[in-house]
Chain A
Amino acid sequence: MNQVNSFTNRINKALGKKQLQNNFRSAMNYLMDKRLAKFPDYERLQISRHKSNTIRTNSVSNIKDLLILLEKNLVRNGIKVHWAENGNQANEIIQSILTKADAKKVVKGKSMVSEEIELNEYLIENGFEILETDLGEFLIQLSDDKPSHIVMPAIHKNKFEIARTFSDNFPDLKYTEDVDELTQQARLVLREKFSHADAGISGVNFAVAETGTLCLVENEGNGRMCTTVPDLHIAITGIEKVVEKLENIPPLFDILPKSATGQECTTYFNMISGPRKKDEKDGPSEVHLVLLDNGRSRVSRDNSINDILSCIRCGSCINHCPVYVKLGGHAYGTVYPGPVGIVFESLTQGLDKTGALTSACTMCGACEQVCPVKIPLPTLINRLRNESIEGVDSDSILGKGSLKMPIESGIWKVWRFIYSNPLVYLFFIRAMTRMRLLVPTKFGKWSKYRNTPKPSKRSIEEIARSEGFINE
């Protein structure tokens, strides 16, 4: 099945789930209200956005030098750095680090990059025990599901489903639908795992080049557990997460939680700059960072699209997207859903893989207005729409023209011919107005959700002339 059809199928499936749509609607309303309450002063918000945009744009435009500097300082601090061109390489690197350390039991903090490379599947296939420890991700893993949101992965589940998942997986625990009790049960199960894990894997929110520091943002404490309790810590991140200076961090950490969940700040901000020192008594004795490219370097080269690499993954564009709220995250069929997903996935994977997603946009512009780093998402989506129909492969965008349809381009060719030949045009307009009753009222799928255009009795020129306008 081609990508357009399979996307349409997923859309139809999603639109049939009314309960799910209601869940998303109320969750998104809640998140939008909470975010807005954190930005009472419009002008200050704009200044903060401008500052964050500058920091991230500077990082992306200097990405090469910054990555080299980051690597140098990480190595100086004793953190081992690995480079992976794609998911396969990243998975292999992580596997070999684990194997070398004889680590079998792995606990993992939330990381969208690890979803991107399907790390869990890979490690499980290779005989490792890998456990998600972020509560939302843990629930997703228990029910063999996929995240539907980048910040709140289990947002599509209600507590009844979650209660059932818990009782199916842990028959010894008391059945409960109480959120506090469920949370305490998860605590109990996972604490046991933290204390016995051989290795911890985490993502990274920001990597500071100047000091060689990995920053992690979280509320639960599972990220700290994963990066502190086991003797081995492996962090994985996309290469675009680098920022130059430590002083760049506060403005980003200020705007990220407010934009994401409407929080003043998260419970933990964890800055890791090295493995356990000789006299220290906890923390991993080995820390690794895997830098993943997976299409990002190609995107970085093109100044007209590399704004997407500024993204700090707050999910605000997703929360405000009128299409996402109707479809939910799974319909996109990609790791990153919503406006950021449309652009990021199409650019890193190629339009021939996910270009169909570019149609999932109403061009309302809400995403750009709320984006804390001011990524021009609608402009990029519109650009990619055009690129998916017209043009040929370029250096930076793959799969151009892959959604071109012979019928559609045929119709436009005829249209162009008519409109560029006055006599043919005249004849066409006459025919359309005089024989308008013969114009079909249904155009297959196209008119299913659209009003069919009806030619009027007289053409606009005729009306204008009769109203006394003189044709210059």
Chain B
Amino acid sequence: MNSSRENILNNLLEGSIESKQRKIVERDSDNPISNKKKIESLKNMLESVRAEVHLLSFNSLNEWINSELSKRNLNRVLIGSKATQKELDLKPSKSLDVSYYVNNIEDWKNELFNDIDVGITTTIGAIARTGSLVLWPNSEEPRLISLVPDVHIAIVKVDEIYETFSEIIQKQKWAENMPTNALLISGPSKTADIEQVLAYGVHGPKQLIVLIVS
């Protein structure tokens, strides 16, 4: 299809990036907000779209997960890898049935879709103003943990809350090194396609639980 490419390119407006570029006017940035405000904003924004948010100390994370999951009868748990589990210092209780995403999706698609209640992931940060979690899935924490199970638990470190999307892109230098998939997640899956009535849990998780740990 080389000829189509040439045809289209030849037919396009000629321009050069240098000569035509207009300067982007930066708006007066709002005063940076304090860490406390960031947590507050993140929590409020997430809760406004029916996500559940809890502030925990890192040490109480394990206990919270063990007790809440049993209490809610979310027993079949998916964690990316043993390394992630270690990083989070999780010691799943015996009542939980923990799986790790060690095989390629093709090898266990059915189980992933049918036999998992909850997926637990870390994040590489969060965005306070829009209430977004930022995930860079990788081999340790594949993409579908945050999508397929009915419940997604995401863990955000309190010192990795950024104010805006722009800020995280700049500070983490995304443009130099984009992963195969980067995600912003701002609440559980939702739709308003039937009579503009908001309904949660269409295709992705029905429930999003965010644990902000310090």
Residues in A lying within 8 Å of B, measured CB to CB: 27, 30-31, 44, 47-48, 50-51, 54-55, 57-58, 60-68, 77, 82-85, 89, 93, 133-136, 139, 152-155, 157-159, 162, 179-180, 182-184, 186-187, 190-191, 194-195, 210-213, 219-222, 224-225, 228-229, 231, 239, 244-251, 253-254, 261, 264-277, 279-283, 291, 293, 297-298, 300-301, 303, 306
A-B contact pairs, 22 of them (CB 8 A): A51-B24, A51-B26, A63-B12, A63-B13, A89-B1, A89-B4, A154-B193, A157-B194, A179-B195, A183-B194, A195-B109, A211-B174, A220-B202, A222-B203, A225-B203, A251-B166, A254-B165, A268-B183, A268-B185, A268-B204, A282-B104, A306-B13
State how many angstroms separate the Cβ of A394 from the closest Cβ of chain B: 14
Tell me, rounded to whole Å, the shortest Cβ–Cβ distance linking B131 to chain A.
Answer: 7
Interface residues of B in 1-19 (CB under 8 A from A): 1, 4-5, 7-9, 11-17
The one of A65, A135, A211, A275 in contact with B175, judged by C-beta atoms closer than 8 angstroms, is A211
Task: Assess whether B34 is interfacial by the CB under 8 Å rule.
Answer: no
Q: Tell me how far the C-beta of A269 lies from the nearest C-beta in chain B, rounded to whole angstroms.
A: 4
Given A63-B12, A83-B5, A179:B194 Cβ within 8 A: yes
Q: How far, in whole Å, are A293 and B12 apart by their CA atoms in the complex?
A: 10
Q: In the bound complex, how far is the Cα of B190 from the Cα of A182, in angstroms?
A: 13
* Known interface pairs A54-B25, A272-B181, A280-B138; A298-B11 also in contact (CB < 8 Å): yes
Q: How far is the CA of A61 from the CA of B16 in the complex (A)?
A: 8
Q: Is A280's CB under 8 angstroms from B139's CB?
A: yes
Residue B33 CB within 8 A of the other chain: no
CB distance from B110 to the nearest CB of A (A): 7
A228 touches which of B181, B189, B202 (Cβ 8 Å): B181
Q: How far is the CA of A301 from the CA of B193 in the complex (A)?
A: 37
The tally of residues in B whose CB lies under 8 Å from a CB in A reads 76
Can you name the residue of chain A whose Cβ is closest to the Cβ of B150?
A: A187
Contact between A195 and B16 (Cβ–Cβ < 8 Å)? no
B58 within 8 A of A: no
Asked whether B143 is an interface residue with its Cβ less than 8 Å from the other chain, the reply is yes
Q: A221-B147, A281-B142 are in contact. Are A62 and B15 (CB under 8 A)?
A: yes
Query: Which residues of A lie under 8 Å from residue B175 when comparing CB positions?
Result: 210-211, 245-247
Q: Determine how close the nearest CB of chain A comes to the CB of B19; give it in whole angstroms.
A: 9
Alpha-carbon distance A293/B15, docked complex (angstroms):
18
CB distance from A420 to the nearest CB of B (A): 41
Give 16 new A-B contacts, CB below 8 A, not counting A228-B147, A301-B12.
A47-B25, A54-B23, A63-B15, A64-B14, A133-B203, A135-B194, A154-B193, A219-B189, A221-B204, A222-B202, A229-B109, A250-B164, A265-B131, A267-B186, A268-B189, A281-B105
Q: A30-B196, A58-B20, A271-B181 are in contact. Are A281 and B104 (CB under 8 A)?
A: yes
Closest residue to A272 on the B side, CB-wise?
A: B181
Interface residues of B in 196-211 (CB under 8 A from A): 196-197, 199, 201-205
> B49 on the interface (CB 8 Å rule)?
yes
The contact string, 1 if C-beta is below 8 Å from chain A, for chain B 125-149, is 0000011100001110011100100
A351 to B127, CA, bound (A): 46
Q: In the complex, what distance in Å separates the CA atom of A261 from the CA atom of B20?
A: 33
In the complex, B106 has a CB within 8 A of chain A? yes
Check A85 against B4 for contact (C-beta < 8 Å).
Answer: yes
Question: B153 → chain A, closest Cβ, in Å?
Answer: 16
- Confirm or deny: B151 has a beta carbon within 8 angstroms of a beta carbon on chain A: no
The one of B138, B147, B180, B194 that contacts A154, using a Cβ cutoff of 8 Å: B194
Q: Which residues of B contact A247 (CB under 8 A)?
A: 166, 169-170, 175
Q: Are B22 and A54 in contact (CB under 8 A)?
A: yes
Nearest chain A residue, comparing its CB with the CB of B7: A85
Within 8 Å CB of B165, what residues of A?
249-250, 253-254
Measured between alpha carbons, how far is A35 from B24 in the docked complex, in Å? Answer: 24
A239 engages B8 (CB within 8 Å): yes
Chain B interface residues (CB < 8 Å from chain A): 1, 4-5, 7-9, 11-17, 20-27, 45, 48-49, 101-106, 109-110, 113, 130-132, 137-139, 142-144, 147, 164-166, 169-170, 174-175, 178-197, 199, 201-205
Query: Given known contacts A250-B166, A277-B180, is B49 in contact with A267 (CB within 8 Å)?
Result: yes
Instruction: Report whether B202 and A264 are in contact in the complex, using a CB–CB cutoff of 8 Å.
Output: no
Q: Which residues of B contact A264 (CB under 8 A)?
A: 45, 48, 130-131, 186
Smallest distance from the beta carbon of B83 to chain A beta carbons, Å?
A: 13
Given contacts A220-B190, A224-B147, A281-B103, contact A54 B9 (CB under 8 A): no
**Is A267 in contact with B201, judged by CB distance below 8 angstroms?**
no
| Chain A residues whose CB sits within 8 angstroms of the CB of B104 once the complex forms | 281-282
Chain B contacts for A191, CB-based, 8 A: 113, 203
CB distance from A387 to the nearest CB of B (A): 19
Q: Are A246 and B174 in contact (CB under 8 A)?
A: yes
Q: Are B16 and A62 in contact (CB under 8 A)?
A: yes
Q: In whole angstroms, how far apart are the Cα atoms of A60 and B21 in the complex? A: 10
- The residue in chain A whose Cβ has the minimal distance to the Cβ of B103 is A281
Write the chain B residue with the least CB distance to A276. Answer: B180
Query: Are the CB atoms of B202 and A275 closer together than 8 Å?
Result: no
- Residue from B1, B9, B17 within 8 A of A244 (CB atoms): B17
Which residue on B lies nearest to A278, using beta carbons?
Answer: B139
Cα-based distance from A239 to B11 in the complex (angstroms): 12
Within the assembled complex, what's the spacing in Å between the Cα atoms of A274 and B186?
23
Q: How far is the CB of A6 from chain B (nearest CB, A)?
A: 29
Q: Is the CB of B203 within 8 A of A283?
A: no
Tell me how far the C-beta of B136 lies from the nearest C-beta in chain A, rounded to whole angstroms: 10
Given known pairs A267-B190, A268-B204, the reply for A83 and B180 (CB within 8 Å) is: no
